[in-house]
Amino acid sequence: MARFIARRLLGMVAVLFAISVIVFLIFNVVPNSDPAARIAGKNADPDLIARVNADLGLDQPLPVQYVTMMKQIFTGQLTSYASNRNVVEQIWEGLPATFSLCIGAAVIWMSLAVLFGYLSAVHAGRFADRALTVLSLVGISMPVFWLAAILLYFLSFKVQLFPTGSYVDLTEDPLDWAYHLVLPWFTLAVLFIGFYSRVLRSNMLDAMNEDYVRTARAKGLSERQVRIRHVLRNSMIPIVTLFGLDFGMVVGGGAILTETVYNLPGVGLYAGEAIRSLDLPPLMAVTMFGAFFIVLFNTVVDVAYAVLDPRIRLGEAAPA
Amino acid sequence: MTREPLLRVDDLRVSFATEDGVLQAVDGVSFDLAPGEVLAVVGESGCGKSVTAQTLTGLTRSPNTRISGSVTYRGRELTGLGDDALRDIRGEEIAMVFQDPMSSLNPVYRVGDQIVEMIRAHRDVSKKEARERTVELLTSVGIPNPQARVRSYPHEFSGGMRQRVMIAMALALEPAVLIADEPTTALDVTVQAQILRLLADLNRERELAVVLITHDLGVVAEVADRVVVMYAGQIVEDGTVDDIFYSPQHPYTWGLLGSLARLDRPRTGRLAQIAGAPPSLLDPPSGCRFAPRCAFQFGRCDQPPPLDHDGGTHLDRCWLGGDVKAEVRP
């Protein structure tokens, strides 16, 4: 286990390094991304641009700029080119909204996906299955920004059932917190509900033909016990894997659209603003934040996998 | 038969609706199982023996399956029984052991828990009591160090040990009938012998009636009292072990016996084999089903032969007369 964690930590360092270099290089070749020119404004004279460049350290060679930026990130001193505000603090401030959105959506998508997938598999081929199939395909096909806009228009603007975005802190008023998050949760969850329920359905249909399920029936277990303890339990292993990866992805940047449309002051909204203003420091920090979560949840998935499937052991070399 | 049969199967028919049409997997199978008897059901892959075995406790039930005929256990009809009532029979009265012990145990649960689960599905006992019983069971089927082994997962056992676990599980509720569906097929030869010995011991010590499904006549000779030979969904011969081995009546049985490697006779060349392949059960021959592969077929084989007595309890499904058989039998 210790070796496994050590290996994963090393891997994480490598991933973060690679991603940060790529982001840094891309930023430096994107046209019109020269921060000094943007800060100095239209019709700036070359002297001013040179001064700004010197201020921001942009006159240094690229490797030096890179090292300086990494130092600033890990000491929490990185500031935005555009607003001059501390980037790490900004991300920190965005965490409550982002985690509220992602965790809530994850609870909804996992429970509904398991429910729908289970019902679909149990009633395979019959009306309930077909209806759920159509529903999940619709869910998978709907773009997040479109769904969010439609929900906002009908349920917040026309019917005024829900607030039009914005965020209330959990500590301030838990009810209001949830009330403000219902639409964003649902918006973010829909895709995953559709996708996961399809995957679970097909896993369960495969598992139903397994010999150990026949054994479970021959043991005299009730159909419900057979389905839940043997079919569903074994079918959940791949779902948990997917979940870990997707949750890491959603926290690490997958919620940008949802946060932007619903105006939730999370990390995603911040990232969106940074992209619009081509502001390298927040972009770099947000990307590394995302990569960190994706690698972290990858590791969590591997641990969960070993817990769920006793045939898998951590820390041993994979068979060639 | 002097004793009242424990299990009586009468004209059992099982068909599956498939994309290619209706597949008649079992076509009019009848046999009795007496208490304490070991009945072997023998035949090639696809002859319907496993489907017959699984249908006894309703395991083949599905929307695509049609089952007719009757299966009675101690006089109680099982084919029409509701799922709940059938569940009381499964495991409690009739237990099953399957072919591949690797895939028949759920890989994600400890073997002890899988046995405990079965006990607690039928008996109102505490987890602790069920676990104690599980340790006893593992001991009785010869698992070394059962106290520790209850906590092992299936993949931590060898094939033979896993099959012992399956047998321990099957015995958990002291059933009267054990259906063993090719219990030794997936095992090494030396391990096969151990498992067969275990089954034979259980049969003797516990008066456990066993339906042994197999394609291996060597296995049959070792443990069975009576033998049913199946071909293409039907019984073609039914008799005692001595009947089948010393005076087989059906050309298919001759073929099966001829394809055995024998140590008591000089080896004269290649082992005999039965020419051709079994018929498709989607569209079986209208007459005798074995006729297309039979060296002795004659005009009458266009008609389906009945399963007939030779005067005693030995049945066979063949038009050849007894005197002809005695002459041509290899």
How far apart CA B288 and CA B116 sit, in angstroms, is 48
Q: Which one of A215, A308, A310 has the shortest CB-CB distance to B98?
A: A215
The residue among A156 and B270 whose pLDDT is bigger is A156
> B-chain residues within 8 Å CB-CB of A311?
107, 153, 155
From the CA of A250, how many Å to the nearest CA of chain B? Answer: 30
What mean pLDDT do residues B191-198 have? Answer: 88
Query: Residue A35 belongs to what domain range?
Result: 1-75
Q: Same domain, yes or no, for A62 and A141?
A: no
CATH code of residue A266: 1.10.3720.10
Looking only at the bridges linking them, the beta strands covering B315-316 and B94-97 are unpaired
Q: Is the minimum CB–CB distance between A92 and chain B shorter than 8 Å?
A: no
Q: Give φ, ψ of B181 to 5 degrees.
A: -95, 100
Closest CA to B59 of A73, A221, A41, A21: A221
Q: Same domain, yes or no, for A145 and A197?
A: yes
| Least confidently predicted of A48-57, A70-79, A240-249, B193-202 | A48-57
Q: What is the pLDDT of residues B11-63, one digit of tens each?
A: 999 999 999 999 999 999 999 999 999 999 999 888 999 999 999 999 999 88
Task: For residue B149, name the pLDDT band (cuts at 50, 70, 90).
Answer: very high
What mean pLDDT do residues B301-322 have? Answer: 84
Task: For residue B172, name the pLDDT band (cuts at 50, 70, 90).
Answer: very high
- How is the beta sheet containing B315-316 ordered, strand by strand? B94-97, B177-181, B209-214, B38-42, B226-231, B234-240, B315-316, B308-309
Q: Same domain, yes or no, for A36 and A126?
A: no
Q: CA separation (Å) from B56 to A36, A148, B59, B172? A: 83, 56, 8, 19
B-interface mutation test, from A123, A215, A222, A224, most B Cβ less than 10 A away = A215
The residue among A61 and B238 whose pLDDT is bigger is B238
CB contact under 8 A, A214 and B155: no
Last residue of a domain, one of A75, A103, A128: A75
Q: Is the minimum CB–CB distance between A222 and chain B shorter than 8 Å?
A: yes
From the CA of A320, how many Å to the nearest CA of chain B? Answer: 19
Q: What is the pLDDT of residue A211?
A: 93
Q: Same domain, yes or no, for A106 and A227?
A: yes
This model's pTM is above 0.90:
no
Q: What is the pLDDT of residue A315?
A: 55
Query: What is the CA angle A245-A248-A252, rounded to 5?
Result: 140
Q: Which helix (H) or strand (E) holds A54?
A: helix A46-56
CB contact under 8 A, A308 and B117: no
Q: What is the pLDDT of residue A320?
A: 38
Q: Same domain, yes or no, for A71 and A219?
A: no
Q: Same domain, yes or no, for A47 and A135?
A: no
Q: CA separation (Å) from B313 to A42, B1, B52? A: 108, 9, 21
CB contact under 8 A, A220 and B89: yes
Q: Same domain, yes or no, for A65 and A96?
A: no
As for how many domains chain A has, the answer is 2
CB contact under 8 A, A234 and B104: no
Cβ contact B26:B11 at 8 Å? no
How far apart CA A83 and CA A279 sit, in angstroms, is 9
Q: At what angle do helices A174-208 and A127-141 cross, to 10 degrees?
A: 120
pLDDT at B2 over 70: no
- What one-character-per-residue DSSP string does A247-290 give? HHHIIIIITHHHHHHTT--SHHHHHHHHHHTT-HHHHHHHHHHH
Q: Same domain, yes or no, for A276 and A146?
A: yes
Does residue A1 sit within a domain? yes
Does residue A266 sit within a domain? yes
Does residue A313 sit within a domain? no
Does residue A83 sit within a domain? no
Does residue A286 sit within a domain? yes
Q: Same domain, yes or no, for A34 and A142?
A: no
From the CA of A116, how many Å to the nearest CA of chain B? Answer: 22
What mean pLDDT do residues B276-300 have? Answer: 89
User: How large is the ipTM?
Assistant: 0.87
- What one-character-per-residue DSSP string does B160-211 give? HHHHHHHHHHHHTT--SEEEEESTTTTS-HHHHHHHHHHHHHHHHHH--EEE
Last residue of a domain, one of A20, A49, A75: A75
From the CA of A305, how many Å to the nearest CA of chain B? Answer: 11
Q: Is the minimum CB–CB distance between A212 and chain B shorter than 8 Å?
A: yes
The residue among A5 and A67 whose pLDDT is bigger is A67
Q: What is the pLDDT of residue A317?
A: 45
Does residue A318 sit within a domain? no
Q: Same domain, yes or no, for A146 and A51?
A: no
Q: Give the residues across from B131 on adjacent strands.
A: none
Give percent above pLDDT 70 in chain A: 97
Q: What is the pLDDT of residue B3?
A: 60
pLDDT at A147 over 60: yes
- What one-character-per-residue DSSP string does B208-251 give? -EEEEEES-HHHHHHH-SEEEEEETTEEEEEEEHHHHHHS--SH
pLDDT at A36 over 90: no
pLDDT at B310 over 70: no
> B-chain residues within 8 Å CB-CB of A225?
121
Q: Which one of A218, A222, A234 has the shortest CB-CB distance to B106?
A: A234
Q: What is the pLDDT of residues A56-110, one digit of tens each?
A: 888 888 888 899 989 988 888 888 888 888 999 999 999 999 999 999 999 999 9
What mean pLDDT do residues B284-308 have? Answer: 89
CA closest to B58 among chain A residues: A218
Does residue A320 sit within a domain? no
Q: Same domain, yes or no, for A210 and A250?
A: yes
The residue among A1 and B300 whose pLDDT is bigger is B300
What mean pLDDT do residues B146-173 have? Answer: 93
What mean pLDDT do residues B242-262 have? Answer: 86
> A-chain residues within 8 Å CB-CB of B107?
212, 234, 309-311
Q: What is the pLDDT of residue B269?
A: 72
Q: Same domain, yes or no, for A27 and A152?
A: no
Supply B183's token pair: 């219990």
Does residue A177 sit within a domain? yes
Q: Give the residues across from B315 on adjacent strands.
A: B238, B309
How far apart CA A28 and CA A261 sit, in angstroms, is 29
How far apart CA A134 and CA A132 sit, in angstroms, is 5
pLDDT at A41 over 80: no
Task: For residue A314, name the pLDDT band (cuts at 50, 70, 90).
Answer: low
Last residue of a domain, one of A75, A103, A131: A75
Task: For residue A128, name the pLDDT band (cuts at 50, 70, 90).
Answer: very high
Q: How many CA atoms lie less than 13 Å away from A267 in the CB half-sphere? A: 29
